[in-house]
Structure 1
């Protein structure tokens, strides 16, 4: 796709609330990860949006046929922040910005429980996060989860090493983190394909009918699974939630389904998308691949740089009150989108931001969002990616994209569906 170069190219006229100045009305939907490209850095089309000449608040026209239209929210659009400093404020200023209602797809079928802890604002947010965090803490991951992560990783790599090829997106990236997640939660392995089918319909189909059918299916399963664990506890996370206590009391039915549903939704394809984009970049940049292979001591910082340069999600918030910001009269209820594919490359924060530096220091990016709502599974995701690179480079020689394969990628959660890689078998 041609890269948009100026603000004039994206200015559009549409009906917007009266507090939106005419010159802030834009169409930024090209930057929301729904248009594929074949660039080595697929987020490059967003590069100019964090420039000093770009207004600090833009108002994006609602995407036609997007979730807002499907859910009947009637929103005409939303504010978009593209500079690192402003994104940081939206994520951390809990007085002015709310996370209530975020990713609550269950409303499409009339459910009223909240996605916990994502859609809970402070001060209540902290009690739920404190309850769940020990299951995702670095110490527990090292002690309990890493042996299983490494076991699954080695098993999957050794199964393909002598074949000389793999579809890294479909057959590996799609499978590896979900196997870990299902084991963590205690879900039955035969549900693997059904889970991914439901998740695809909810997040990517764009069809209200498919979304509603998938939501009914997964919530019926999760409620049945919760009921089963209430009767027969085990050592896995769903059972720990079901039999846990918050502030000295048992969890309510809405709290149980709210937590299990949120973890289910967040655990299926974020790491998969990251793996696909990570291996695509290494295949297209053999020098980068060689550098990490020859210097395994930089794997931790390389993973952080892959995360910074692959911001697969842009998170949303809403204004809790009327206030003035950058000369704009923000109104209570106004929706805000933080464009992480712009903020993660802001030259005001990162030196040479478009350069992939696997040894970059102080790499404080927004791929796991920020503030109190920073991703609960961030430590687990990092460990999965680190272990994968460690074990991969021990067993697989230099790899490349299979000749003739399409390397187009959606710069977002949709990512890349198939990525055939090949290597020379000794």
Structure 2
């Protein structure tokens, strides 16, 4: 019988890797960066490399020693659907305290709200914010979303070409988000520059500098909304109260900061990968163009096959999992890049099924911390496909000579020119 090294050629982490805690078995410290969504590839199916970490010969839990989930340290990793579900749903064992706490790099102590708050307090903040993100709220915002998307498409529809990643996908979701929050569009480039450095810059000081820059801006923005309230979400938070008690300064900046961090690039990255797939599969274009009733289920399938974020949680107490001793204070990261393709949950997981039913993927996380903006993201993508096929009823393709490399995570494709015969 083939050994695990032969069936699953995953190397142990090398000498250049950060050290693992003493209680971690050395044979479980593995280099799975290829499956973490951070290694570029030019595959038609960019998430294929993660298949190997679900092989029956691969350990159900292993240790990834590099910084992950916005932290400065490594984490245990689970790769199968049911294990991922457990991490998202077992709030008695797994905590979201400290998740995406980039603000700590600048010496800040406020939490990211609501993600960084555990139940039951988490529910208070979700209840406060939810009215802005319900399906009913999206129905009210849809005309404005259509206006933004339709107006942008009309600018290039007759030209027969657009850089769908840089000139469109990078821009329209941010326009929608800035409009929702009340941020001025003049901050567009500066926002994206700060976010890039926070999420992708390796030098800690550059990350910290970007955090300091955006937090200084956000505190000024909050002060402006408190002095002159309006009907935007930014003003709602800046002047908000829960159960009759005004929000504290930490609560206001914690919510405003977290929404800023999460509102800029998830839809942009999804759009870029979505159009890459469509451009490579003319038959899929024709299928959706010919049957608009597929748009909702197709959007879920695009989301499932493009998991952008691998989330993390902190362990609350010692326990044993898959024969491994996990300690309180350890971190566990879920590889959604793997779990979304688990054939125990999804039939033919690498087959793009635009009509797939019961598509319970983890791209938007799970449990009580499921993405606050999930309905907004879905609505933006559905409106985009509807408006696109209405306004550009032509088959499109990737422009000849284009580099189609993908980093299968956030900000994954910087440029993707597509062309069509108008």
What TM-score, normalized to structure 1?
0.94
Retained in 2: the 8 A contact 1:165–1:422? yes
Match of 1:7 in 2: 8
- Out of 272, 284, 298, the position equivalent to 1:276 is 272
Match of 2:231 in 1: 235
Retained in 1: the 8 A contact 2:60–2:322? yes
- Out of 86, 90, 96, the position equivalent to 1:89 is 86
Match of 1:348 in 2: 344
CA shift, 1:274, in A, is 0.2
Q: Does 1:19 align with 2:16?
A: no
Match of 2:43 in 1: 39
Q: How does 1:15-414 map to 2 (within 5 A)?
A: 15-62=19-66, 73=72, 75=73, 77-143=74-140, 145-396=141-392, 397-414=394-411
CA distance in 2, matches of 1:352, 1:102: 32
CA shift, 1:8, in A, is 4.5
Aligned structure 1 segments of 4 or more residues deviating by more than 4 angstroms = none
CA shift, 1:282, in A, is 0.4
CA distance in 2, matches of 1:374, 1:181: 19
CA distance in 2, matches of 1:249, 1:171: 43
Deviations, residues 272-326 of structure 1 (Å, cap 9, x unaligned): 0000000000001111111111111100000000000000110011100011111
Between stretches 238-247 and 48-57, larger displacement belongs to 48-57
Retained in 1: the 8 A contact 2:8–2:58? yes
- Give the root-mean-square deviation of aligned CA atoms: 1.5
CA shift, 1:5, in A, is 7.2
Query: What SS does structure 2 have at the residue aligned with 1:263?
Result: helix
Retained in 2: the 8 A contact 1:204–1:414? no
Retained in 2: the 8 A contact 1:401–1:422? yes
Structure 2 gaps of 5+ residues are none
CA shift, 1:67, in A, is 8.3
Structure 1 gaps of 5+ residues are none
Aligned residues: 414
Query: What SS does structure 2 have at the residue aligned with 1:157?
Result: helix
Using a 3 Å threshold, how does the CA distance of structure 1 residues 13 and 36 change in structure 2: closer, same or farther? closer
CA distance in 2, matches of 1:276, 1:104: 27
CA shift, 1:352, in A, is 0.5
